[in-house]
Amino acid sequence: IKYLARHVVAADRLAMEVASLYRRVLPTPPAVEFASPEGRRLFAEALEGGTMEGFFSLVPHFQTQSEPAFCGLASIAVVLNALAIDPGRRWKGPWRWFDESMLDCCEPLHVVRSQGITFGKVVCLARCAGASVRCFRADHAAVHDLRAHLARCASSRDCHLIASYHRGHFKQTGGGHFSPIGGYHAGTDMALILDVARFKYPPHWVPLTLLWEAMNTTDKTTGFPRGYLS
């Protein structure tokens, strides 16, 4: 019986190992990995063009989402900390700092953990935390609006854009997702997605028109299209 039990445990452990995942291969194209030679070139050119200013505010506060469904919460936490907004309450010890666990004023964390979060609730959470927010659903904007808005935000350290989009348009696995946009390359019309699911995909550049198409998709939970907020 002991021998059999050991083999059952070993089989269960092997099954768990097979079922687990370590990252995904980023589909390129359409994306360009940030750390690749082409990705570094795009970064250098965008930096020279002045549309990477927001990147330097976001990166010191960038984090990986702590739960598979916490992409919206992680994106908000990154942006709130980048904007140096004081949460007015302690995180741990004496420190006041935005963390995903503190973003529960519009949707209980256990609901987000099991079901994810909608575009409207992300906007609600950002406002509840003290941010001045403008939101744009894809059915009330156009790609040129996104381009102009991103170019302005990417040129400033006081404005950050969070995209709500469907991964399928980038040939990535998964569905609806939130992540901050870290910069813009005007010459190639590409946006830098700072993917908060870093356990899955690294930061990557994508064509802005394709990002717009990924935003212009319907969230089946609400029946409304996705979009962006800043």
Chain-centre distance for alpha carbon 47: 21
> Roughly how many angstroms between the first and final C-alpha of the chain, as a whole number?
61
10-residue stretch averages of pLDDT, the chain, 230 residues long = 46 58 93 98 97 95 95 97 95 95 93 94 94 92 93 92 96 96 97 97 97 95 93
pLDDT at 11: 45
DSSP summary character for residue 95: B
Q: What is the pLDDT of residue 12?
A: 52
pLDDT value of position 13: 56
Q: What pLDDT score does 200 carry?
A: 96
pLDDT for position 176 = 96
Distance from C-alpha of 56 to C-alpha of 58, rounded to nearest angstrom: 6
For residue 141, the model assigns a pLDDT of 87
Dihedral pair phi/psi, residue 202, rounded to 5°? -80, 170
Rounded Cα distance, 194 and 176, in Å? 15
H helix runs in 20-118, sequence order: 37-49, 55-58, 71-82, 109-115
Domain 28-229: give its CATH superfamily.
Phytochelatin synthase, N-terminal domain (3.90.70.30)
Domain ranges of the chain: 28-229
Are 157 and 24 contacting, i.e. CB atoms less than 8 angstroms apart? no
Beta strands at 32-33 and 204-207: parallel, antiparallel or unpaired: antiparallel
Tokens 């990557």 belong to residue: 204
| Residue 4 pLDDT | 45
Report, as residue numbers or ranges, the catalytic residues. Answer: 71, 177, 195
